[in-house]
Structure 1
């Protein structure tokens, strides 16, 4: 082979190597599907799901959702500990995450700019889909002597952080029972701190809004028998008449070792998402979660269904999520 031929051969090999490297780089955002097929390429490399405290329901479910999204879309997704609903809406608005767990009532307040969002309307966040009922659980010890809302007068009660979903639920339930924050000694604790406070005797009771069974309450019941203070049917109806995003609920006998079913009320849990995420990406995220609900091991997984994905949603739905639910339910 002459010198010119050798140069052409070397140049050709070099170009092939460059092409291969370029192909690998382009494919780095795509990955491969669980069936070995290529995944769609998206314009993001990483997604963050804002959840809540480690002893609530959002965090373990968020970890499962992150795995499902990573596996199905190829976009690395992680679940982050946060201050839950109200803080999550603000964090999404500020670009501190892309997806978040939030109560349906809090999402409504945020997008309307009311209550804790007065003057701070959230306009860059929309809904991805509904998840499951979040039960408002008023927790105390079985031997505390507290059996009703009226028994809370003068007691130290954890009501969650000011501006949180739990705080709003506590305030509204106290109101329906003829009480206010001034009738109790309110303590602003998260779920884990509430359980520790009840166990140590530092507080008497705690409002915990989360899907049951809630990790913090289970942990408390493992060392001290717990009691959930009931909401009577007439009080539940009065609450719903004034605040229609509530629904009647019940904590089944056997949960936390309870001997009988406890009547309660709930709001909805949902996923919110940044409005500026692409339609294709949000469609893929929604599909990854709702097509794989059988892989959700948490007890609340049985409530998460595509056919219920838009139930109770009171805010705008992302076009990508709407496209998925329209395809599945029509």
Structure 2
């Protein structure tokens, strides 16, 4: 009987703790109002009405490094469109901004229509808001999310001495180990291990007769799309391997030299390297063929308020991070500098670093400006703008954009609207381009047609996890292309004209 009484008390205690945890934080009405205010102030006033709202539980969080603790409150909601709006438009605030504002997961928004939603449509949203009670009252955190902890789990010890197990542990090390300081032994070891694993993966893919899709740097947007698309293709009986790379320039060389079947690159990089860029000893890559434009991208030039940098001319004599040697960001930085008449000798330090390293260097005061070319909005820059209120984006002067646009068909002026990034109070104008899918001219027509068909079939499914896939549309797949279409792509567009016309309406 005593045991039964103890069990009853234990169950009662657990239920009480569960109910207490679920009820922590502000009540439902306050949460709903906070979310509605966010939608009106940070996205678009009068676009959404929260049709339904329900708390879906809560969980505590604690960030020891920053000394912040509080509670995550999860919710289910339905947003009613009060007017027609496209969350996949190439212009204006899009699904990426909405996801950030609402604290939703990549899979947390449904009801999106590729050709735009109409008044009365409903979006179903599963998201979360983060609240802290450090002051004795519940206060929502600036971006509705808890700060990311810098703690990184360490890899386990080796499981054994077989080559397969050693490779598994190396992968775990590369996945879990934070980036080492440049020019150290650890950095050299991690770099060489990473390149070795990538080479092995390509060998394994060829042995399995998989198509190789060259994407981008791990944790980058190209790589994320490449992984999702490769997984989808493989599940639908088109075996495909997503290959890590430094970025657009390396991807061009891989396709040109038969090291990749398909690749994702910036449209301006494709145009330039197809013709050749003799100033940098880039000979024409005449074997390249284009397949489709996928989504719009923009050059972001980011500085800190108080740096004294307000225009491109102010960058003279400053320290800048331009991207890794094989990246499109570095390519854009060079192109802009050339047209602006700026010589590399005018910069005391040029850092050729990836996105994460560049942002860390800007925050640490090691560089004065960074160049990042990504889709709008860039998740990395959303996170940066969320934790700092002194982030500023430089506009590129109209005359400079016109000159660049005359030189390259792929460029166009793009204005990034207010509130695209947290705290962004002014629009900025910059170079627009597209993410372009390319292949080799010797790739079979059948393979090209199959991949394009898979691309259109997968877009709605992939958009649930990667919002940029929602931009893929028959109406825009041939925009901004200056490299000849592959014959298989020409056949595909001719044979699917009814689908492309439907998308354009």
Structure 1 and Structure 2 fold alike (TM over 0.5)? yes
Instruction: For residue 45 of structure 1, report the CA deviation from its aligned partner.
Output: 3.1
SS at match of 2:455: helix
* Long gaps (5+) in structure 2: 1-207, 499-505
Contact 1:247 1:265 in 2 (8 A): yes
Supply the distance in 2 between the matched residues of 1:243 and 1:280 (Cα, whole angstroms). 31
Matching residue of 2:479:
311
Greater shift, 124-133 or 205-214, is seen at 124-133
Q: Distance in 1 between matches of 2:232 and 2:473?
A: 15
| Cα RMSD, aligned residues only | 2.3
Number of residue equivalences = 286
1:299–1:181 CA distance, 2 compared to 1 (3 A) = farther
Name the structure 1 match of 2:98: none
Matching residue within 484, 489, 502 for 1:321? 489
Q: CA deviation at 1:288?
A: 0.6
Distance 1:117 1:231 in 2: 23
Q: Rate the CA distance shift 1:55–1:249 in 2: closer, same or farther, 3 A.
A: farther
For residues 1-330 of structure 1, what are the structure 2 equivalents within 5 Å?
45-72=209-236, 74-115=237-278, 118=281, 120-162=283-325, 164-184=327-347, 185-225=349-389, 226-257=391-422, 258-297=424-463, 298-329=466-497
Structure-2 residue corresponding to 1:4 = none
Q: CA deviation at 1:163?
A: 6.0
Q: CA deviation at 1:271?
A: 0.7
Partner of 1:33: none
The alignment partner of 2:413 has SS state of strand
Give the alignment's TM-score, normalised by structure 2.
0.53
Measured after TM superposition, the shift of residue 200 of structure 1 is 1.5
SS at structure 2 position matched to 1:255:
coil
Specify every segment of 5 or more residues in structure 1 that has no aligned partner in the other structure, as ranges: 1-43
Deviation at 1:233, TM superposition (A): 2.9
Could you say if the C-alpha distance between residues 236 and 122 of structure 1 is closer, same or farther in structure 2, counting changes exceeding 3 Å?
Answer: closer
For residues 84-142 of structure 1, the C-alpha deviation after alignment (integer angstroms, 9 at most, x for no partner) is 11111111222322111111222122222334774633243321211122201101223
Tell me: higher relative CO, structure 1 or 2? Use CA pairs within 8 A at least 6 residues apart. 1
Following TM superposition, by how much is the alpha carbon of 1:249 offset from its aligned partner in structure 2, in angstroms? 0.4
Contact kept? 2:320, 2:350, Cα under 8 Å: yes
CA distance in 1 between counterparts of 2:483 and 2:447 reads: 20
Deviation at 1:209, TM superposition (A): 1.2
State the alpha-carbon separation in 2 of the partners of residues 172 and 113 from structure 1. 14
1:229 to 1:102, Cα distance in 2 relative to 1, 3 A: same
Q: 1:236 to 1:166 in 2, by over 3 A?
A: same
Aligned to 1:36: none
Q: TM-score, normalised by structure 1?
A: 0.78
C-alpha change, 1:116 and 1:79, in structure 2 (3 Å) is: farther
Q: Secondary structure at the match of 2:232?
A: helix
Moved more, 85-94 or 103-112: 103-112
Q: d(CA) in 1 for partners of 2:327 and 2:489?
A: 26
CA distance in 2, matches of 1:108, 1:319: 18
CA contact (8 A) 1:49 1:77 kept: yes
* 1:188-230 Cα deviation digits (max 9, x unpaired): 1121211111122111111111112223323322333321111
Task: Answer whether contact 1:56 1:214 (CA < 8 A) is retained.
Answer: no
Shift of 1:164: 4.1
In the aligned structure 2, how far is the partner of 1:187 from the partner of 1:119? Answer: 21
1-structure distance, mates of 2:404, 2:368: 24
Instruction: Describe the shift of the 1:50–1:177 C-alpha distance in structure 2 as closer, same or farther (beyond 3 A).
Output: same
CA distance in 1, matches of 2:365, 2:394: 18
Q: CA deviation at 1:245?
A: 2.6
Instruction: Answer yes or no: is the 8 Å Cα contact 1:50–1:97 preserved in 2.
Output: yes
